[in-house]
Amino acid sequence: MPLPIFAALQVTLCICCRLDALSCVIMMLMSWISATRNCKQLFNTIKCMSAVRYTHSHPVKMDLSGIYPPITTPFDESENIDWISLKSNMEKWNTIPFRGYVVQGSNGEYVYMTVKERLELVAGVKGMMAEGKLLIAGSGCESTSATVQMTKDMADAGADAALVITPSFYKSGMTDEAMFAHFTRVADTSAIPIILYSVPSNTGIDLSIDVIVRLSSHPNIIGLKDSGGDISKLGAVVHKTQNNTFQVLAGSASFLYPAYHIGCVGGVCALANVLGQECCDLELLFKLKRYDEAEKLQKKLIIPNLDVTRRFGVPGLKQAMDWLGYIGGASRLPLLPLTQNQQDVLRKDFKKEGFLE
Amino acid sequence: MPLPIFAALQVTLCICCRLDALSCVIMMLMSWISATRNCKQLFNTIKCMSAVRYTHSHPVKMDLSGIYPPITTPFDESENIDWISLKSNMEKWNTIPFRGYVVQGSNGEYVYMTVKERLELVAGVKGMMAEGKLLIAGSGCESTSATVQMTKDMADAGADAALVITPSFYKSGMTDEAMFAHFTRVADTSAIPIILYSVPSNTGIDLSIDVIVRLSSHPNIIGLKDSGGDISKLGAVVHKTQNNTFQVLAGSASFLYPAYHIGCVGGVCALANVLGQECCDLELLFKLKRYDEAEKLQKKLIIPNLDVTRRFGVPGLKQAMDWLGYIGGASRLPLLPLTQNQQDVLRKDFKKEGFLE
Amino acid sequence: MPLPIFAALQVTLCICCRLDALSCVIMMLMSWISATRNCKQLFNTIKCMSAVRYTHSHPVKMDLSGIYPPITTPFDESENIDWISLKSNMEKWNTIPFRGYVVQGSNGEYVYMTVKERLELVAGVKGMMAEGKLLIAGSGCESTSATVQMTKDMADAGADAALVITPSFYKSGMTDEAMFAHFTRVADTSAIPIILYSVPSNTGIDLSIDVIVRLSSHPNIIGLKDSGGDISKLGAVVHKTQNNTFQVLAGSASFLYPAYHIGCVGGVCALANVLGQECCDLELLFKLKRYDEAEKLQKKLIIPNLDVTRRFGVPGLKQAMDWLGYIGGASRLPLLPLTQNQQDVLRKDFKKEGFLE
Amino acid sequence: MPLPIFAALQVTLCICCRLDALSCVIMMLMSWISATRNCKQLFNTIKCMSAVRYTHSHPVKMDLSGIYPPITTPFDESENIDWISLKSNMEKWNTIPFRGYVVQGSNGEYVYMTVKERLELVAGVKGMMAEGKLLIAGSGCESTSATVQMTKDMADAGADAALVITPSFYKSGMTDEAMFAHFTRVADTSAIPIILYSVPSNTGIDLSIDVIVRLSSHPNIIGLKDSGGDISKLGAVVHKTQNNTFQVLAGSASFLYPAYHIGCVGGVCALANVLGQECCDLELLFKLKRYDEAEKLQKKLIIPNLDVTRRFGVPGLKQAMDWLGYIGGASRLPLLPLTQNQQDVLRKDFKKEGFLE
């Protein structure tokens, strides 16, 4: 096809799709190159390089869009943090196009750490991290004052943003009002932006749509990580916070692809510890609108993901890491390592989808 | 193909699909280019437009793809079935491009009906239904033998397929084995195909992925309606049953759009009783790959949908019907009509999204 | 009163109460002393012995105090009601000092019966029942109108009182207001007294203290069967309804003895199908204030009771019946018979407490 | 009545009731005095004085029988521990016949304390405590190693026994095996005896009968505090651990009296913070076998107890303390103080039972 005709067609298409001028030009050029040279690999590489980050209608304080592994913490035989193994994992993860790392999330066994360890881990990862990536630190505690302090300390330790889990012990007291007051206080006093974190399978508390929407207008609350798996809730939150530059992250690789389709900007995915490239591929396929391939990949990830989250938890995730080139190792007690039977199930499920031989 | 003939065809298609004029012209041009130059990428765009029905890799026994309202049952002041109001509703629904109707699902208050009424309703709707639509009848009962009998009777009454809810009373006895035996027996003895139905918010039973997958290879079990809202489960089921011509229907309009993106073929949506055209629009937008518009519409539907399902249930749905040109009326007791406060909330939520003035 | 006449009376009483000889002699002596000397403390001991029935401070419409088996329904190989086996069971049960029978409760598999069968069973049991016993019929349905009709029909079929389970399908609609209206309507229209029935493990609905208290003042609502096992709730209900001649029945043998101590008047106990005499012994021991023995017996009953309720359900109960001289047989599908493993556990637990050899 | 005849009668009674010789003699004398002098008050005082502590068939390592308030922690306006108010409360509590104190249980807001504060509180209470009472310290943490350390530190700080809550964050990992390993490790390494603590309303974890029974044979695990309210479970545990000198404490005043009747030896009751004397009265009435009075008192305590636990939690408890002569004050955030409406309900309920004017 001659370039002028092609270009005219493309312009029309771009107007149709409401792309901005720059993207339009890039697309045209690439399409032409592609059409002319039929060089698929080059095409993709360029496309991926130019895949502009998710653009909000309002300027965002910090662009969260992308994939994050909530990294696990390796321990030695005495249950001490194994910094060498962590470094080894980090070096591998640094080669994957993650947007950043979540340190001391649920999968980091934060509830089994001392305050000192939590801070050391954040500082440690900061030092091991490839440039340009975000460091999100889990800073939630049960009390508001401890969370305020921990969030400050996390900022000092180098965190770019804080992921704050819902307090949950006194369940009947964790009303919308209590949640609103808690997160507001934390956000008011924090030097770094706050990301809300709802994970009902661990806490028994599902942060309500109403309170999320109210909190979304706080200038220092920039997003939500939701691991509940209720895609309607994610959609409702995206919809009701659209004027607030509020960014929603899927809390699991099981529903990452559909979450993108209702407006989530990325995911914090346990599975990314072990299948990080695949999670990033899914993101890319979505951005490239290669939806059939994305759907296919999404489906392959669901069962392995359920295995390393709901079914076998952190010990399952660490076991899979051991098999796939990372250093998982044991969890701190009371979490027990997988039994032989559980290992067999896990291996079978990873094999079935081609992630293990 | 000569351009004029091609154009005529395309115009017809575009009218069919209710595209605006500009899109129509662009599509025509691109199609022509594609047809002439054999440019695969553009060709695909067209293909999707004309893809009137979900095409399975295997031939399906009955193509379920599309939108179904699980129709409500209007009652008169004495709680008798109000056939005239039902007919009035059906006439309106018949003008909407539904794939068919679900009669005597949860929203039909089937648990409040006698056996006789359940059958009469199916027969009655059969007579009121526009041609070419499917009639799916809820035939589930607590016992296996009653379900077998009811399914047979539903077939005789004119149902094209039977939607069979999980039995649920003796919760600890409703194991995977019990479920497998139950549905197998029902499917073995039924003249019409069986669709599994899992609705944990009513039954407390969530049909497991494992048992669904096992049942999917039964030649007379053709699909699943799942109202649980766990999109990962839907994806896993689609993935694991891909060789069985098994069709999955989203059980709610809240997650219809993301459900399409992981392979669901349609939805049985309470909301379609009252916003039927909008649900069908969502389906069409998905099929036309107009994903931005689909996402936008999906988001507008979530809160109204939650209101007429989880939050206010059948009385909420019927109230909304009264406002939007249908005849909802009261539910049978013990379901109470909405209080004034509840009505205000419902009205506000429908107004906010532009569905009421 | 002269000693010989007094003694003769006492002997009769003791035989009645199945006391051993020594207790009988001691009691006689003490009673005589008491009678002669007007010694209040000893007198009370006697009073309790002769206190055949729970005495309310207000006259009760129908004295419910005592033990009731919620009888199982035996089926033949074709799942038809096996009347001969039922008669055989009834003959054995008639020799046990039950206060009466609950027919078509949860353990009677009422949800697996047609309306006709439910009524036939009540009429049938009426004909097989020893004189002087109460016949309580489960008449609950999902809709209010069906429950009203069924309750009337149960009265016609010979029921002395109706046990009305909470409707439960549309869980979010089953508010206190809905429950209040439902039970009020049923009680208003019933010729026989109504007993409320809350069994959250099957229905997912726990009738609230508030609504029970409100309903307790209805002249035709005479009591509550509560199977939830929350002894605080039972105590609160007894306490708050003390002015209403409202009678509370424990819904399980697992907590029968402590339930007596907070004011319950008896129990409807699945376990009484198979260990009926033991349940009645527990009642008697409580009434005789032989609390140490009662406590001991209560404890022996807990695990067997959990096995035939929560753990293995109706099929477990029927299996135990088969072992202990009754005819249990299979349940209707979808309830499956116990696996060999489950049978082994059940047998071991019954053996351990000495109920099987 | 002449003493010899009376004595003969009493001996028979005592043999009947299997009392030991000493109790028998005491009872005889007291009965005689009572009968002769009709001096009820003296009688009771003596009886209460001689009320021997619960006697186990096996020697117990530490006799836990009695009532314990799980004491609240007062804070000043800056949320610092208010030692003066604590001392004031302790002085009042010291005049009540508690068996001891639980420090840093759920009602002590332990999850809102630093490690240092938790230890200081135990040491502080040790210094304020009346002689002869037991100091039980809540030492549970999420990780096994932290719990081991905390338990050691609690022992050093002066605790007589440690109350160890189930870890709960990774719910799917908290299997029976994990629980068994956790508590075994803690008990193995502790210088003071361990009391298991199950409180599902806060943790979402209900320690199973099986694992409790297995743990009960550990020489350093002496008992269980169970707040679940499932009286059948308490009975089953008492029954199955009867050979292990294992002591069960009711975890709430709502079911304290029935719990005694199935073999519990006392209670850790939030309500005892505010109605301590009443809780001890209930214990005494049970021991004196004045069951009618005990039942009556138990019933009066249920609703106030539900208010300060399930319904309004620690803030409710502290509010009631403020009204009844103690210093409750605010809880640490995120727990909010009661709204005016909630206060009204609480006050009404306490008034209704005569605990407030």
Task: Check if the beta carbon of residue C72 is closer than 8 Å to that of residue C328.
Answer: yes
Q: Please list every residue in chain D whose beta carbon sits closer than 8 Å to the beta carbon of residue C258.
A: 231, 235, 255, 258-259, 261-262
What pLDDT shows up at residue A198? 98
Catalytic residue numbers of B read 225
Residue C304 has pLDDT above 90, yes or no: yes
Residues C75, C27: Cα–Cα separation, whole Å: 47
What pLDDT shows up at residue B58? 46
* Beta-carbon separation of A144 and D334 below 8 A: yes
Task: Check if the beta carbon of residue A299 is closer than 8 Å to that of residue A322.
Answer: no
Nearest CB among C261, C298, C300 relative to D257 is that of C261
What pLDDT shows up at residue D357? 87
SS3 C144: helix
What pLDDT shows up at residue C245? 85
Neighbours of chain C (3+ CB pairs under 8 A): B, D
Q: Please list every residue in chain C whose beta carbon sits closer than 8 Å to the beta carbon of residue D259.
A: 258
User: What are the two backbone dihedrals, phi and then psi, of residue B81, each rounded to the nearest 5 degrees?
Assistant: -60, 130
Residue B44 has pLDDT above 60, yes or no: no
The answer to whether C334 contacts chain B (CB < 8 Å) is yes
Task: Check if the beta carbon of residue C276 is closer than 8 Å to that of residue C298.
Answer: no
Distance from CA of C209 to the nearest CA of D (A): 10
What pLDDT shows up at residue D7? 53
* C309 backbone φψ class: left, alpha, beta (φ>0; ψ -120 to 50): alpha
Nearest in space to D71 (alpha carbons), one of D99, D127, D109, D97: D109
Nearest CB among A9, A13, A299 relative to B235 is that of A299
Nearest CB among A1, A229, A236 relative to B232 is that of A229
Confidence of residue B61 (pLDDT cuts 50, 70, 90): confident
Q: Which of residues 229-248 of C touch B (CB under 8 A)?
A: none
Nearest in space to C126 (alpha carbons), one of C137, C115, C110, C117: C137
What does the domain layout of chain D look like in residue ranges? 66-292
Task: Check if the beta carbon of residue B268 is closer than 8 Å to that of residue B102.
Answer: yes
* Beta-carbon separation of B235 and A229 below 8 A: no
What pLDDT shows up at residue D117? 97
Q: What are the 10-residue block averages of pLDDT along chain A, 357 residues in total?
A: 51 48 47 42 38 43 95 97 98 98 97 97 98 97 98 98 98 97 98 98 96 97 96 97 91 97 97 98 98 97 97 98 97 98 98 95
The answer to whether B310 contacts chain A (CB < 8 Å) is no
D303, two tokens = 């609703």
The DSSP call for residue B249 is E
β pairing state of D221-226 and D247-250: parallel
The answer to whether D12 contacts chain C (CB < 8 Å) is yes
Higher pLDDT pick, B182 / D39: B182
Chain D interface disruption, residue of C302, C303, C310, C345, most D CBs within 10 A: C302
Q: Count CB-CB contacts under 10 A for residue C48.
A: 13
The answer to whether B92 contacts chain C (CB < 8 Å) is no
What pLDDT shows up at residue C8? 54
Q: What is the pLDDT of residues B79-90, one digit of tens each?
A: 999 999 999 999
Percent of chain D residues topping a pLDDT of 70? 83
Tokens 């399914």 belong to B151
Q: How far apart are the first and last CA of chain A?
A: 45
Laid out side by side, the sheet with A134-138 consists of A66-68, A266-268, A247-250, A221-226, A194-198, A161-165, A134-138, A100-103
C318, two tokens = 């029927």
* Beta-carbon separation of A261 and B291 below 8 A: yes
Residues D113, D122: Cα–Cα separation, whole Å: 12
Least confident of A235-249, B47-61, B218-232: B47-61
Q: What is the pLDDT of residues B296-349, one digit of tens each?
A: 999 999 999 999 999 999 999 999 999 999 999 999 999 999 999 999 999 999
What pLDDT shows up at residue A158? 97
The answer to whether D177 contacts chain A (CB < 8 Å) is yes
Catalytic residue numbers of D read 225
Distance from the Cα of residue C169 to its chain's centroid: 25
Distance from CA of A283 to the nearest CA of B (A): 14
Residue D37 has pLDDT above 70, yes or no: no
Cβ contacts of D232 within 8 Å, gap of 6 or more: C229, C252, C254, C255, C302, C305, C306
What rounded mean pLDDT belongs to chain B? 88
C166, two tokens = 């909470």
The interface predicted TM-score of the complex, written ipTM, equals 0.83
What pLDDT shows up at residue D15? 54
Least confident of C28-42, C67-81, C119-133, D149-163: C28-42
Which entry of C40, C87, C133, C225 is annotated as an active-site residue? C225
C338, two tokens = 């116990």
Residues C256, C275: Cα–Cα separation, whole Å: 13
Residue D235 has pLDDT above 80, yes or no: yes
Architecture of domain D66-292: Alpha-Beta Barrel (3.20)
Q: Give CA separation, A98 vs A102, A121, A284, in Å.
A: 11, 19, 11
Q: Please list every residue in chain B whose beta carbon sits closer than 8 Å to the beta carbon of residue A263.
A: 295, 299
* Beta-carbon separation of B235 and A255 below 8 A: yes
Q: Find the DSSP H helices in D231-339.
A: 231-240, 256-261, 276-287, 291-306, 313-323
